[in-house]
Structures are given as structure tokens and as C-alpha cells.
């Protein structure tokens, strides 16, 4: 029997453990392996070309996408300026004007008493209907629950209240009751202290909305311009690199991509510059003039109303000025005429052609004559000749009413001229952006395709 060889460790000891093995290497992720393959591929010329093609194509596509995005936003804002915010601003001004004119017509009719003409009554009714229609349109174009919507709702509540007071004043006036004057003064107070301030607030809010739309439409699209310059730089570098390695001057694909990108960049800069110039012109020679003229017209309407109420109140409403007791309506008339004068002076400076200057100059002449006739009427009233004063205010000939009508007519003519100027300039600005978002997107895609084809042409030489 063969002898058993002695076990390691000697008698009575455990067998020795097997020798240790090295741990298995950790499995790499697919992402890490992909990065390594990309690095390895980029170390070769075909790999570098693929990376260059991808980067250049991505830059061109990004340029087109950002251009389309930014110019779509600016075109929409310019469209809002032309078709929404400015018309709504003018509509708000018309609501204010209609209310102020209705108040003026009511006081003129009251002064005429039983001899109120059908024309005066018609003007009042038309103004009330115009204000009501304007409020309906403004409500339809306002956001529910917005401050503008609440202002419109309140004006809709106040309008029938005002009408009721005027009708009561007329009724008592026809019957010869002095209380009619008190009702008319109460109606005027409601108009001056509640309705017109709210109408002015609505006008202010619409103007703020208009300014916001201008602010969205006019800024230069710097992000798109920067991407366009970067894309052109990348295309130029790629072509220079291609020339250094192959001595070939032109790569048709890259040249096409460069041409497309250049066209989009020039279209973007020139198109937006023209649009900005048109919109700026529409604001400087349209909106600013319209705002000044609206304010001047409102001042003239308020002055006429206060002039009438001076005769209606007959000294019942007074105010202390420098220690002297004066008729409060006559004091307000003087303030309104000062506002009118400043407004006409500003409108004359803003008018940039004869068609805009002529009606403003005529209105200034009418205002000067109005002041002269008003002074004569006040002298007659202060000397106790009320009937003569009344004739100088609402008479058929040689009265202040003729001057007021001249101011109002010429301001309306100036407003129509400036409205046309605004529409022309704003329309030109909006049209300068027509097709730019879509054209930029299409040309950018074609440019990216050209870049890929140009790089692909070089890659085919390595196969």
C-alpha cells in the first residue's frame, strides 16, 4: 500500500485555502463606451468631419428656429398694435369724448329751455348711444375680471343713472321749476367726478396696453442675430479648414449653407430695422399726436360744459381763489381752456405736414376767439344782463358756441389725419416682417441640409 504524502499544515491541521483570484473588472456603461467610441472616431479625419457637420448643421437650424420664434412674437405684437391695442385706445378716448359731449349737449339744451332744438337733443342722444356702444365693444375686448372690465361694468351702471338725472332736469326745466338746475348740476357732478374719471382710467389702461405691445414689437432680436453670426463663423471656418486640407476652393454644400444663412441674417436685420422704423414712426407721428389731440378735444368739451353750467348755476356754486369768491364753473372753464391751449401747441409741434398743421392752427384761432366772446358774455352776466349773456353763449350768430364747434370740427379733422398717418406707418412696419419667420425656418433647414451634404461629399472620399 502506497504511503500517503503528508498534508500541508501538518497532522491535525485544516487544509490550506486555495490561492485568491483577481476580482472581475466592473462592466462599463453603454454611455461610457459610446463616449469612448466617439473619442476614438473623432481622432480620425472622417470622425472630425462628422462632428464638424453635425455642429454646423445644428447651429444653422438653431439660428433659423430662434429667428422664426423671435420674429413671430414681434410680428404678432406689431399686428396687435395695428389692429387691437391702438383701435381700443382710440375707442376708449371716443367713450370719454362721447360722455363729455353728451354732458355739454345736455347743458346747452337746458339753457335753451322750452326752445331746445331738435339738433341739440339729437346730439345728446347720439352721444349717449355712442358711449353705450363703445362700452359694449370695450367689454367684449377686455379680459374677464380685469381692472378694465370692472371699470367698464361701473360705467355701464352709472350711464343710466346719469340719463335719469338729465331727464328729470329737463322735465322740471320745461315746467319752469328752479329745481331743474339742481338736478342738472347733480348730473354734471356725477359725470365729472365719477364717470369721466373712470373713462379716463379706461383710456389710460388701453394706452398702457398699447405701449406694452410696442415694447414687444420693437426690440432687436439679439439672440437670433448672435446665432446667425456664430453660424456664419462656423461655416467660414469649416470651408477654410476644407481648403487647407484639400486645396479645393469651394465646397458646394457649404457654400449653399453659407448663402442661405447670409440671406436669413440680412433679411432679419434689414427687415426688422424697417419694421422698427415704421413702428417708431407710427408712435412718434401717430400715437403721440392722437393722444395730444384726444386730450385737447376732451378739454374743449369740458370747457364748453363748464361755460354752460356757469349760466345754469347763476352763482350757486362758488369757490375761493386768492381771497376772492368766484364762480366755480367759470374757474374750471379757465383751467380747461389752459389745457386746450397747451394741447393745441403740442399738437402743432408734432404735426409733420401741412394737412396735420392746418386744422390745428385753425382750432387755435377758434380758441382765441372763443376766449374773447366768453369774456364778453361774462361781463354781460356780471352786469345783470343774463339774456344777453345767454345769447352770447348759445345764440345762433356771434356766440361762443360757434367757436366751440370750430374747435371741435378742426380737432376731429386733425384726428382723422393722424389716424391715417398711424395706420400707414404701423402697416408698413408690420408688412416689413411678413414672411420672415416662415422664410427663415425654410432657408435654415435648406442651409443645414447643404452643410450636411457638403460634409458628406468629403466623407465619401474616405470610403
**Mean pLDDT, residues 376-402:** 88
Q: What is the CA radius of gyration of the chain?
A: 39
Residue 4 has pLDDT above 60, yes or no: no
% pLDDT > 70, the chain = 87
What is the predicted pLDDT for the residue at 163?
92
**How many C-beta neighbours within 10 Å does residue 64 have?**
28
CB 411 within 8 A of CB 419: no
Cell numbers linked to 180: 331743474
What is the predicted pLDDT for the residue at 42?
56
Residue 165: half-sphere exposure toward Cβ, Cα within 13 Å: 20
What is the predicted pLDDT for the residue at 228?
93
What is the predicted pLDDT for the residue at 145?
81
Beta strand spans in 195-353 (E): 318-321, 324-327
User: What is the Cα–Cα distance from 175 to 177, expressed in whole angstroms?
Assistant: 6
What is the predicted pLDDT for the residue at 115?
65
Q: Which residues pair with 327 in a beta bridge?
A: 318
User: What is the Cα–Cα distance from 396 to 115, expressed in whole angstroms?
Assistant: 12
Q: Which residues pair with 319 in a beta bridge?
A: 326
Confidence of residue 285 (pLDDT cuts 50, 70, 90): confident
For the segment 328-364, what is each residue's pLDDT rounded down to a tens digit? Answer: 888 889 999 999 999 999 999 999 889 989 999 999 9
For the segment 143-188, what is each residue's pLDDT rounded down to a tens digit? Answer: 788 888 889 999 999 999 999 999 998 888 888 888 888 888 888 8
CB 242 within 8 A of CB 254: yes
User: What is the Cα–Cα distance from 285 to 429, expressed in whole angstroms?
Assistant: 14
What is the predicted pLDDT for the residue at 217?
92
- Residues 206, 211, 213: CA angle, nearest 5 degrees: 95
CB 97 within 8 A of CB 128: no
What is the predicted pLDDT for the residue at 91?
86
What is the predicted pLDDT for the residue at 1?
46
**Mean pLDDT, residues 243-262:** 82
Q: Which residues pair with 318 in a beta bridge?
A: 327
186-to-48, 115, 256 alpha-carbon distances in Å: 86, 22, 76
**Mean pLDDT, residues 441-460:** 83
Residue 227 has pLDDT above 80, yes or no: yes
The DSSP secondary-structure symbol of 285 reads I
Confidence of residue 253 (pLDDT cuts 50, 70, 90): confident
Residue 271 has pLDDT above 90, yes or no: yes
Residues across the chain? 463
Confidence of residue 58 (pLDDT cuts 50, 70, 90): very high
Average the pLDDT over each of 2-6, 170-174, 191-195 and give the range with the smallest value.
2-6
**Computed from CA positions of residues 216, 275, 346, 408, in that sequence, does the dihedral angle turn out positive or negative?**
negative
| pTM assigned to the model | 0.76
The DSSP secondary-structure symbol of 195 reads I
Mean predicted lDDT score pLDDT of the chain: 85
CB 89 within 8 A of CB 222: no
Of residues 118 and 416, which shows the higher confidence score? 416
**Mean pLDDT, residues 454-461:** 72
**Mean pLDDT, residues 311-318:** 74
Amino acid at each position: 500500500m502506497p504511503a500517503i504524502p503528508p498534508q500541508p499544515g501538518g497532522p491535525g491541521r485544516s487544509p490550506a485555502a486555495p490561492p485568491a483570484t483577481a476580482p472581475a473588472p466592473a462592466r462599463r456603461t453603454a454611455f461610457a463606451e459610446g463616449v469612448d467610441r466617439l473619442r476614438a472616431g473623432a481622432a480620425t479625419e472622417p470622425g472630425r468631419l462628422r462632428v464638424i457637420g453635425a455642429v454646423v448643421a445644428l447651429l444653422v437650424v438653431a439660428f433659423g428656429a430662434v429667428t422664426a420664434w423671435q420674429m413671430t412674437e414681434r410680428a404678432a405684437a406689431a399686428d396687435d398694435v395695428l389692429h387691437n391695442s391702438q383701435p381700443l385706445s382710440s375707442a376708449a378716448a371716443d367713450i370719454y369724448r362721447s360722455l363729455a359731449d353728451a354732458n355739454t349737449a345736455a347743458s346747452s339744451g337746458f339753457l335753451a329751455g322750452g326752445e331746445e332744438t331738435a339738433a341739440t337733443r339729437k346730439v345728446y342722444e347720439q352721444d349717449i348711444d355712442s358711449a353705450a356702444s363703445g362700452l359694449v365693444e370695450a367689454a367684449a375686448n377686455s379680459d374677464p375680471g380685469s381692472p378694465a372690465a370692472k371699470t367698464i361694468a361701473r360705467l355701464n351702471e352709472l350711464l343710466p343713472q346719469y340719463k335719469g338725472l338729465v331727464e328729470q332736469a329737463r322735465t322740471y326745466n320745461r315746467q319752469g321749476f328752479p329745481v331743474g338746475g339742481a338736478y342738472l348740476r347733480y348730473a354734471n357732478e356725477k359725470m365729472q367726478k365719477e364717470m369721466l374719471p373712470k373713462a379716463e382710467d379706461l383710456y389710460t389702461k388701453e394706452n398702457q396696453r398699447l405701449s406694452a405691445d410696442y415694447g414687444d414689437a420693437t426690440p432687436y432680436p439679439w439672440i437670433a442675430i448672435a446665432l446667425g453670426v456664430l453660424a456664419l463663423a462656423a461655416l467660414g471656418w469649416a470651408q477654410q479648414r476644407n481648403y487647407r486640407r484639400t486645396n479645393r476652393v469651394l465646397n458646394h454644400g457649404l457654400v449653399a449653407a453659407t448663402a442661405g444663412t447670409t440671406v436669413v441674417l440680412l433679411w432679419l436685420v434689414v427687415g426688422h430695422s424697417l419694421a422698427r422704423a415704421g413702428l417708431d414712426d407710427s408712435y412718434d407721428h401717430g400715437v403721440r399726436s392722437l393722444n395730444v389731440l384726444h386730450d385737447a378735444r376732451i378739454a374743449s368739451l369740458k370747457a364748453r360744459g363748464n361755460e354752460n353750467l356757469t349760466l345754469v348755476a347763476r352763482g350757486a356754486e362758488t369757490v375761493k381763489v386768492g381771497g376772492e369768491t368766484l364762480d366755480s364753473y367759470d374757474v374750471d372753464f379757465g383751467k380747461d381752456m389752459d389745457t386746450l391751449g397747451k394741447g393745441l401747441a403740442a399738437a402743432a409741434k408734432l404735426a409733420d405736414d401741412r394737412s396735420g398743421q392746418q386744422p390745428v392752427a385753425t382750432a387755435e384761432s377758434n380758441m382765441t376767439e372763443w376766449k374773447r366772446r366768453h369774456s364778453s358774455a361774462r361781463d354781460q352776466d356780471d352786469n345783470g344782463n343774463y339774456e344777453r349773456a345767454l345769447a352770447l353763449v348759445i345764440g345762433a350768430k356771434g356766440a361762443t358756441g360757434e367757436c366751440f364747434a370750430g374747435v371741435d370740427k378742426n380737432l376731429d379733422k386733425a384726428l382723422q389725419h393722424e389716424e391715417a398717418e398711424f395706420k400707414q406707418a404701423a402697416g408698413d412696419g408690420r408688412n416689413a416682417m411678413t414672411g420672415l419667420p416662415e422664410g427663415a425656418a425654410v432657408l435654415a433647414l435648406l442651409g443645414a441640409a447643404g452643410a450636411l451634404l457638403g460634409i458628406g461629399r468629403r466623407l465619401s472620399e474616405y470610403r
